[in-house]
Amino acid sequence: MKVSKKISLENILLVGFPSNGLVGTFTISYLINNLGMKYIGEIDHPDLPPTLFVEDGEILPPIRIYKKNNIFVIMSDLPLDPFLAYDFAESILRYCKKNNIQKIIIVSGMETINGDPKTPKIYGLVTHQSLEEILYTNQISKFLTGSIFGADAAIITVFRKSKIPTLVLYAECHPFFPDPEASIIAITTLAKVLNIKVDTIDIQKKMERLRIQHRNLMEETIRTLQQQENQPTRAPQIYR
Amino acid sequence: MKVSKKISLENILLVGFPSNGLVGTFTISYLINNLGMKYIGEIDHPDLPPTLFVEDGEILPPIRIYKKNNIFVIMSDLPLDPFLAYDFAESILRYCKKNNIQKIIIVSGMETINGDPKTPKIYGLVTHQSLEEILYTNQISKFLTGSIFGADAAIITVFRKSKIPTLVLYAECHPFFPDPEASIIAITTLAKVLNIKVDTIDIQKKMERLRIQHRNLMEETIRTLQQQENQPTRAPQIYR
Amino acid sequence: MKVSKKISLENILLVGFPSNGLVGTFTISYLINNLGMKYIGEIDHPDLPPTLFVEDGEILPPIRIYKKNNIFVIMSDLPLDPFLAYDFAESILRYCKKNNIQKIIIVSGMETINGDPKTPKIYGLVTHQSLEEILYTNQISKFLTGSIFGADAAIITVFRKSKIPTLVLYAECHPFFPDPEASIIAITTLAKVLNIKVDTIDIQKKMERLRIQHRNLMEETIRTLQQQENQPTRAPQIYR
Amino acid sequence: MKVSKKISLENILLVGFPSNGLVGTFTISYLINNLGMKYIGEIDHPDLPPTLFVEDGEILPPIRIYKKNNIFVIMSDLPLDPFLAYDFAESILRYCKKNNIQKIIIVSGMETINGDPKTPKIYGLVTHQSLEEILYTNQISKFLTGSIFGADAAIITVFRKSKIPTLVLYAECHPFFPDPEASIIAITTLAKVLNIKVDTIDIQKKMERLRIQHRNLMEETIRTLQQQENQPTRAPQIYR
Amino acid sequence: MKVSKKISLENILLVGFPSNGLVGTFTISYLINNLGMKYIGEIDHPDLPPTLFVEDGEILPPIRIYKKNNIFVIMSDLPLDPFLAYDFAESILRYCKKNNIQKIIIVSGMETINGDPKTPKIYGLVTHQSLEEILYTNQISKFLTGSIFGADAAIITVFRKSKIPTLVLYAECHPFFPDPEASIIAITTLAKVLNIKVDTIDIQKKMERLRIQHRNLMEETIRTLQQQENQPTRAPQIYR
């Protein structure tokens, strides 16, 4: 019990941003609302196009920081092009150091490859061996082979050279359409890893509305991902 | 009475620039003429393409400052791309500090979403709680949910971190055509907020001429807004 | 008489460059030849594409300075894009200060708007009230309303803040074709203003040849003017 | 025997990157696996788009360094555009100096020109006369005439002015499709030059799978090569 | 005789690069081979795309320097875009000063305008009056009227302000196809000017092969020339 308490008390940062199927965006925002996390700050970047969101009359910047107990969240509502992605990653690292974050978890999507789109699987990738145990304990399949581009790649690149271990959860999803179904498995898995309780009834109810509401963001995200002329894929690009 | 006088004596800055339906341009220029405001200066920017306007044989720069009593105006006749928008916002902030401005009001347009284009509504967005009272007193609906891009977003971003509160009046309008009708409600609302008298008969008479005369500027404005590949919209881009 | 002599002895700079209908180019080069002005220098710019002209076996740079008595000329054979236009304007201002120029006259073209292309009119625009008298004395209609882009706008922008007054002569012309007819009225008006004698028989004779010879330059000029996505026009862009 | 030992003990660097027919990529990765070389480091570049590869759950950067005994390898899984190519070449030179490399060998492909695609030939190009002997001893035809662009050209340009001699092995290949056949002759030749034993049975078995798996990388490589609007070719570009 | 000797002993630099009809490239390379000039150096530029040529197994950089007795040659095998052209011209000037060059001769092509393509003419243009005599002595027609763009213009611009006089030989040629015929007159004229003996039998034999071999370079050259959206032409661009 004591050990388990210690684990739950280490500072954990969750990161989400628009990517394949908008899995990261759906998952992280759902968690923020469901857990009632508190908005505590924002991350600026002079090269981000001027953008604001309004929610219940409150003005929100595109990259926001939330917190509840030992869980921190950094989420972006704007897709991040390859040029901004490294700066975003460096900002996250600086924030982690300042706030004594001991572990970060990125939630993202990955083009589904095997058969049944109704039962998406989730894969885990870790930057430091110390996190392998999380995969094992929570029965998350290991991401074995593939290429990673964009903001995910930028954050992993920066953190694998740091002392802060990173877990990336890749939920299989439709790459070109908002995929709230894929987010359900991501949320469920994340809840297990964080040892918290989150139900997904709300997301299941709003499924169709979410798909329609986020068409524009999905398009913009695809455009940004394609700036690198490649989409994340599990097709091997290196010789084995 | 004393308090009300004090309020009317505080320095207020109105800001307008080409955006959806050219609402800001129509409203602010109408007010300048109707109130007989005095041209007192200009704002330069080395990256603005060389442009001048001639009016009654007088040469006018594209970004001008006007004043009458405690009311100041900064208006641009050129749409401002995302790269210039932040500089424009910073120039306005510097001007406000130098001239002891205590409140700024931006007039802009917002794509109409509900039914009847003949009875456009107006929405208010405030950066500081101190301005909420204005919305309540003048029965202006609160802008509750949506995304904001372009010059509006740049100014709000800069001022919400400053001590100078900002009110943005969004009149529902046609996004792709000059919309003088939408400006009428903006002018009327603005007059109430400023506690001044402005009639809109002149704008009503010239309605068709305004629409035709401003086609080019509208096209140029749309082109500039689309540089961010998005138009202001109330469709929610963030999960709720 | 004495006063009139004084006026004729002040240093005047004429400026011409490719613009609508090539009016500035035709007018200024005609005057150089007709008055037998002397080539006395050139203006360099590192961002001008490498270009030279050969005339009677003599190598000429694209931006040249000529002089005869108290009349100076700066003319460009290359159209100047918006980025170069400000530098060009600044170069002219520096030259004026060094050479004690007391007045500059720009000759340019303006898209014809009223009826008869065979009787083009000429309009004058002045940056300082001190030049109003020239318009009156020479019965030049005042340019009342419109928008100005490109190199004209850059030079006016720079000089209206200086102590050197500028007169711009806008001859109505065909915007897309070389228009030597429009140049005839510009030459005649300029001669009146300068109080010199210039006949236009030579230009009348070569009319067709000029049109054909300058097709390429016209095309290049239109391309440069359109970089600003707008052509000079009298259609009002600002609310009145 | 002693002399031969000395030769085998000098530090040799092999370099491969995506180019015509992906010959360099296939050859060098095959060798790494076949010889069981050890991954010892990576080369970063801030202008490389964020990219990572995952292999057996291990995260790999795009430009990696391997080593076994006296043989070093630098290989890139990303094609290098003309702007990055010089930096890549300079990085390799710095690495060579730090690690006392005495000779480098680049493996690349060259569009086949003569008859039979089933019996590709291999050509050698050397930057310093001291390597001519290798061509002679191993019966490698000399690359006599042609033009070289892209990353090959950048590395040769940098090393021909250094003290470290470079041998480039050009295997004839199909320029637009992954060409594992061409890699077999490159591997065989490289093995002879390095005086090591490598069998090519594994590559022969996987031929078709390799061709399919690497379609995307081939496309991206062609796009990168065409940035210079030219593909490597033996057609002479200079007069003889 | 003594005077003539002195003339022949002054250091002369010949310059050639890909331009209209590839006349400069053909002429200068033919001369290098025919006179057996010695390769003595190269000119680098960090913005040149990485390119190398291989000739008889020897690696050659794209901009090379050759020498025999008092004759120097700088030739480029890459067409030089407007941005590089000024740097190239400055490099040549520095080289001239360091090596006490007293005169430079550029060989280039000019779109043929009059009748018979089978009897191309050659025109000479000089930057300093001191070279007029060469035109007269060798019966070279003077280039009287026209516009010059690209690398020719950059070199002339730089040298006409220096103390080193420049002669440009313009052979009439086909602007869009490699034109070895035009090179024959250029070679013959150059031989007369240099007072050396060169036969053109070799170039006459290889005529067709040259045309085919250099198609790619011609295309690339046209692309580079068109970056300035203009091709050298004798059509007058300035008013006379």
**Per-residue pLDDT tens over the stretch D145-203:** 989 988 999 999 999 999 999 999 999 998 888 888 899 999 999 999 999 998 888 77
pLDDT confidence of residue E62:
95
- Token pair 């205590």 in the structure block, residue: B102
- For B30, nearest residue in chain C (alpha carbons): C239
CA distance linking residue D190 with residue D183, whole number of Å: 10
Does D58 contact A at CB distance below 8 Å? no
8 Å CB contact between E147 and E128: no
For residue C231, give the 3-state DSSP assignment: coil
Instruction: Tell me which chain E residues have a C-beta less than 8 angstroms from the C-beta of D145.
Output: 54-56
Q: CB–CB of C148 and B54 under 8 A?
A: yes
For E158, name the nearest residue in chain C, comparing CA atoms only: C50
Pairing of strands C38-42, C63-68: antiparallel
- Do the chains D and C touch each other, judged by at least 3 C-beta pairs below 8 angstroms? no
Asked if the model's pLDDT at residue A7 lies above 60, the reply is: no
For residue D239, the chain E residue with the least C-alpha distance is E29
Tell me the shortest Cα–Cα distance from E212 to chain D, in angstroms. 10
Q: Which residue has the higher pLDDT, A185 or A115?
A: A185
B42 vs B23, B60, B106, B224, C233, CA distance in Å?
21, 9, 18, 22, 23
- Among B22-36, B224-238, D174-188, E31-45, the least confident range: B224-238
From CA E51, how far away is CA E41, in angstroms rounded?
Answer: 16
A135 touches chain D (CB under 8 A): no
Name the pTM for this structure: 0.85
- pLDDT for C27 equals 94
- Tell me: the pLDDT tens digits for E200-223? 888 788 877 878 888 888 888 888
Most confident of A223-227, D219-223, E59-63: E59-63
What average pLDDT score do residues B17-43 get?
Answer: 94
Top-confidence range, C7-16, C111-120, E144-153: E144-153
Instruction: Tell me whether residues D52 and A157 touch, CB distance under 8 A.
Output: yes
pLDDT at C228: 60
Give the C-alpha separation, C108 to C123, whole Å. 10
Q: What is the mean pLDDT of chain E?
A: 86
Closest listed residue to residue B164, CA positions, set B72, B227, B40: B72
Q: Which of D33, D46, D54 minimises the CB distance to A145?
A: D54
- Name the 3-class secondary structure at C45: coil
Per-residue pLDDT of chain D (240 residues; tens, 9 = 90+): 344 444 457 999 999 999 998 999 999 999 999 999 999 999 988 888 899 999 889 999 999 999 999 999 999 999 998 878 999 999 999 999 999 999 999 999 998 766 566 678 999 999 999 999 999 999 999 999 989 988 999 999 999 999 999 999 999 998 888 888 899 999 999 999 999 998 888 778 887 787 888 888 888 888 887 776 443 333 333 332
Read off the amino acid at residue B36: G
Q: In chain A, what percentage of residues exceed pLDDT 90? A: 61
The reported pLDDT for the residue numbered C112 is 76
Residue to substitute from B84, B238, B240, interface A, most A β-carbons within 10 A:
B238
In a mutational test of the B interface, the residue from A59, A75, A214 whose CB has the highest number of chain B CBs within 10 Å is A59
Chain C residues in contact with B223 by the CB 8 A cut-off are: 229
Higher pLDDT, E239 or B106: B106
**CB–CB contact C52 E229 (8 Å):** no
| CB C204, CB C187: distance < 8 Å | no
The answer to whether E32 touches E234, Cβ cutoff 8 Å, is no
Percent of chain A with pLDDT over 70: 89
Task: Determine the distance in angstroms separating the CA of E213 from the nearest CA of chain D, rounded to an integer.
Answer: 7
Residue A238 contacts B, CB cutoff 8 Å = no
What does the mean pLDDT of chain A come to? 86
Q: Which of C142, C233, C236 sits opposite B57 (nearest CB)?
A: C142
pLDDT of residue C224: 81
Calpha distance E79→C185 (Å, rounded): 45
What is the predicted pLDDT for the residue at A39?
96
Confidence of residue A130 (pLDDT cuts 50, 70, 90): very high
pLDDT at A25 over 70: yes
The candidate with the shortest Cα–Cα distance to A184, out of A233, A140, A120, is: A120
The pLDDT, as a whole number, for residue C86 is 92
What's the pLDDT at E116? Answer: 63
Shortest CA gap D161–chain A (Å):
32
Contacts 24+ apart (CB under 8 A), A89-98: A89/A151, A89/A154, A89/A155, A89/A157, A89/A158, A89/A159, A90/A158, A91/A43, A91/A45, A92/A13, A92/A15, A92/A155, A92/A158, A93/A158, A93/A159, A93/A162, A93/A164, A95/A13, A95/A43, A95/A65, A96/A13, A96/A162, A96/A164
Query: Are C51 and E142 an interchain contact pair (Cβ–Cβ within 8 Å)?
Result: no
What pLDDT score does C233 carry?
Answer: 33
Question: For residue D15, which of D159, D163, D216, D181 has the smallest C-alpha distance?
Answer: D159
CB E152 within 8 A of CB E123: no
pLDDT-derived band at E115, boundaries 50, 70, 90: low
* Amino acid sitting at position E197: K
Strands lying side by side in the sheet with A122-126: A38-42, A63-68, A71-76, A12-16, A103-111, A166-173, A122-126, A141-142
Q: Determine the residue of chain C that is closest to B48 in CA distance.
A: C82
Q: Which residues of C100-115 are buried (b: 16+ CB within 10 A; e: fewer)?
A: ebbbbbbbbbbbbeee
Sequence letter at residue C106: I
Shortest CA gap D52–chain A (Å): 5
* pLDDT of residue E239 exceeding 50: no
16-35 of D, contacting A, C-beta below 8 A = 25-26, 29-30, 33
Taking contacts as CB-CB distances below 8 angstroms, the residues of chain A near D25 are: 239
| Chain D CB within 8 Å of residue A175 CB | no
**Residue partners of A59: CB distance under 8 A and separation at least 6:** A52, A53, B125, B127, B156, B160
Distance from CA of A128 to the nearest CA of D (A): 10
**What 3 state SS string does chain D have?**
CHHHHHHHHCCEEEEECCCHHHHHHHHHHHHHHHHCCEEEEECCCCCCCCEEEEECCEEECCEEEEEECCEEEEEECCCCCHHHHHHHHHHHHHHHHHCCCCEEEEEEEEECCCCCCCCCCEEEEECCHHHHHHHHHCCCEECCCEEEEHHHHHHHHHHCCCCCCEEEEEEEECCCCCCHHHHHHHHHHHHHHHCCCCCCHHHHHHHHHHHHHCHHHHHHHHHHHHCCCCCCECCCCCCC
D220 contacts in chain A (CB < 8 Å): 229-230
Residues whose CB falls within 8 Å of the CB of residue C218, separated by 6 or more in sequence, listed in order: C18, C22, C176, C177, C178
Residue in B137, B130, B25, B10 with CA at minimum distance from that of residue B72: B10
Across the interface, whether the CB atoms of E230 and C220 are under 8 A apart is answered yes
Only one residue has tokens 């000098």, namely D10
Per CB-CB distance under 8 Å, the chain B contacts of A26 are 239
> How confident is the model over C107-153, as pLDDT tens digits?
999 987 665 666 789 999 999 999 999 999 999 999 999 899 889 99
Position A112 scores a pLDDT of 76
The answer to whether residue A205 neighbours chain D at the CB level (below 8 Å) is no
Contact yes or no for B50 and C236 at CB 8 A: no
- The answer on pLDDT for A40 being more than 70 is yes
The answer to whether A191 faces chain B, any CB pair under 8 Å, is no
Query: pLDDT above 90 covers what percent of chain E?
Result: 61
> For chain B, what is the mean pLDDT?
86
Q: Given this model, what pLDDT does residue E155 score?
A: 96
Q: What is the pLDDT of residues C57-116, one digit of tens each?
A: 999 999 999 999 999 999 999 999 887 899 999 999 999 999 999 999 999 999 876 656
How confident is residue A63, by pLDDT bands cut at 50, 70 and 90?
very high
> What would the two tokens of residue A37 be?
């996390």
DSSP state of B143: -
Counting residues of chain B whose pLDDT is more than 70, the rounded percentage is 88
CA-to-CA distance for A27 and B114, rounded, in angstroms? 30
For a pLDDT cut of 70, what percent of chain E falls above it? 88
Contact E145, E170 (CB under 8 A): no
CA Rg, chain A, in Å? 17
H/E run at residue C95: helix C82-98
Pick from C30, C56, C210: CB nearest E144: C56
Distance CA(E218)–CA(E223), nearest Å, equals 9
User: Which range is least confidently modeled, A76-80, A108-112, D132-136, D142-146?
Assistant: A108-112
Task: ipTM value, please give it.
Answer: 0.86
With 60 as the cut, is the pLDDT of residue B235 above it?
Answer: no
- Which residue is listed with tokens 């500039």? B224
Which chains sit next to A, with 3 or more Cβ pairs under 8 A? Answer: B, D
Q: What is the mean pLDDT of residues C159-168?
A: 96
